[in-house]
């Protein structure tokens, strides 16, 4: 298969795309891939490092208010469509996959207008602007949350889950908490505010640390790389806490998840895909700074199934956080129930499901 992929801006758009690519190449080493991203998105550094052919377009999003900048946005979109057409003619893909972000709008629109089979993947429960626009033109739409189904043309929608889930399930199971200076045979909770950390959560964790020091369970506190030094400086004032490990970043999250009794974090689509694929009880603190408050809706889907507890950031304090964590970490039967509910929601074959859809829309299907 010759696959062109476009998605960018955030890891939530990039990592599902990479999961599909990795599974395709695993199934068929002769698979040829071209990734089209944006110049300013993190994909411009992530994708080339993986050795994948990469083309970058200059593009930006529309401002929600009236702005002269929107004229530039329209110009860049039309320019990107023209460049995308040239790339498609050159690469001759069998199918084009879009995973979100403004750049995928130009690429998938160009492909659809050229009669090339197209598929988009929507990771969140609230449909993004780009995928909503593309839904009129593409052949198939893969979703991760049932709540997204009614926001698309019904005949095009297929539930696949998030391809990142399959990578999480297949991750090595040999990780040891000793790498954090902790014990493997003690119940452990991780608190993490996303890849960059979350300022409010970090502040609350610093306040809660003396309480956690009195607990029998262990805590891994992931601050985010940019916030690590500031948090470490605060924690030094308290001295060493044997049952708490502070880390700037965790780069092998699926492997680490297997060693956790519970996790506290944001409710991004990739995070939830990993959590449910492995079956980890969670306390979710949705980011209030995302479009259409979609993380709250993502989190609610787990809460409704008994797989998670939600704390809104407005209600977050050292008291509410410690209380929620204690309820889980001091009650193994409750954790077991939530773990089972979480795993029932998991999509361990999501990447394979996506590949099936990609093949179904090709002209050779």
Q: Is-contact 42 13, C-beta < 8 A?
A: no
Is 8 among the annotated ligand-binding positions? no
Query: One fold for both 2-162+348-361 and 177-344?
Result: yes
Is 247 among the annotated ligand-binding positions? no
CATH code, 177-344: 3.40.50.2000
The CATH architecture annotation of domain 2-162+348-361 reads: 3-Layer(aba) Sandwich (3.40)
Is 295 among the annotated ligand-binding positions? yes
Is 9 among the annotated ligand-binding positions? no
Write down the domain spans for the chain. Answer: 2-162+348-361, 177-344
Strands (E), the chain: 2-6, 32-38, 54-57, 95-98, 118-122, 140-143, 157-159, 188-192, 218-222, 244-247, 262-265, 282-284, 308-310
Question: 306's torsion region: left (phi>0), alpha (psi -120 to 50) or beta?
Answer: left
Q: Quickly tell me which residue has 């299907």 as its tokens.
A: 365
Sheet holding 140-143, edge to edge: 54-57, 32-38, 2-6, 95-98, 118-122, 140-143, 157-159
The pLDDT of residue 303 is 97
Tokens of 364: 């050779």
Helix (H, G, I), strand (E, B) or coil at 118: strand
Is 10 among the annotated ligand-binding positions? yes
- Sequential DSSP letters for 39-72: SSSTHHHHHHHTT--EEEE---PPPSS--THHHH
Question: How do the pLDDT tens digits run along the chain, 365 residues long?
Answer: 999 999 988 888 999 999 999 999 999 999 999 999 998 888 998 999 999 999 999 887 766 666 667 778 888 999 999 999 999 999 999 999 999 999 999 999 999 999 999 999 999 999 988 999 999 999 999 999 999 999 999 999 999 999 999 999 998 888 999 999 999 999 999 999 876 668 899 999 999 999 999 999 999 999 988 888 888 888 877 777 889 999 999 888 889 999 999 999 999 999 999 999 999 999 999 999 888 899 999 999 999 999 999 999 999 999 999 999 999 999 999 999 999 999 999 999 999 999 999 999 996 55
Is 115 among the annotated ligand-binding positions? no
Which residues is 131 bridged to in the sheet?
none
By CB atoms closer than 10 A (0-12, 13-18, 19+), residue 176 is: exposed
């Amino acid at each position: 298969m010759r696959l062109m992929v476009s998605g960018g801006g955030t890891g939530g758009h990039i990592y599902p795309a990479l999961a599909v690519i990795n599974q395709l190449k695993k199934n068929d080493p002769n698979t040829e891939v071209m990734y089209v991203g944006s110049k300013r998105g993190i994909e411009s550094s992530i994708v080339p490092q993986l050795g994948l052919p990469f083309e970058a377009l200059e593009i930006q999003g529309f401002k929600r208010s009236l702005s002269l900048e929107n004229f530039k946005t329209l110009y860049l979109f039309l320019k990107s469509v023209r460049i995308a057409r040239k790339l498609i003619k050159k690469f001759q893909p069998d199918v084009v996959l879009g995973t979100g972000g403004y750049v995928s709008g130009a690429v998938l629109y160009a492909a659809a207008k050229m009669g090339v089979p197209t598929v988009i993947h929507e990771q969140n429960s609230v449909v993004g602007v780009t995928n909503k626009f593309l839904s009129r033109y593409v052949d198939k739409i893969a979703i991760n949350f049932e709540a997204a189904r009614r926001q698309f043309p019904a005949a095009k929608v297929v539930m696949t889950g998030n391809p990142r889930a399959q990578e999480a399930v297949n991750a090595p199971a040999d990780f040891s908490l000793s790498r954090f200076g902790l014990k493997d045979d003690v119940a452990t909770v991780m608190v993490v505010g996303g890849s960059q950390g979350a300022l409010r959560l970090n502040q609350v964790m610093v306040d809660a640390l003396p309480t956690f020091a009195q607990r029998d369970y262990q805590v891994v506190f992931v601050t985010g790389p940019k916030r690590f030094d500031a948090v470490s400086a605060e924690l030094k004032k308290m001295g060493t806490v044997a049952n708490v490990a502070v880390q700037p970043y965790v780069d092998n999250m699926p492997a680490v998840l297997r060693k956790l009794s519970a996790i506290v974090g944001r409710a991004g689509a990739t995070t939830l895909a990993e959590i449910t694929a492995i079956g980890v009880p969670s306390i979710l603190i949705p980011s209030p700074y995302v479009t259409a408050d979609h993380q709250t809706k993502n989190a609610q889907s787990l809460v409704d199934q008994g797989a998670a507890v939600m704390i809104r950031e407005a209600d977050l304090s050292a008291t509410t956080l410690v209380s929620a964590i204690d309820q889980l970490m001091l009650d193994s039967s409750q954790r077991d129930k939530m773990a089972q509910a979480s795993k029932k929601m998991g999509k361990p074959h999501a990447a394979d499901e996506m590949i099936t859809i990609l093949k179904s829309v090709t002209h050779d299907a």
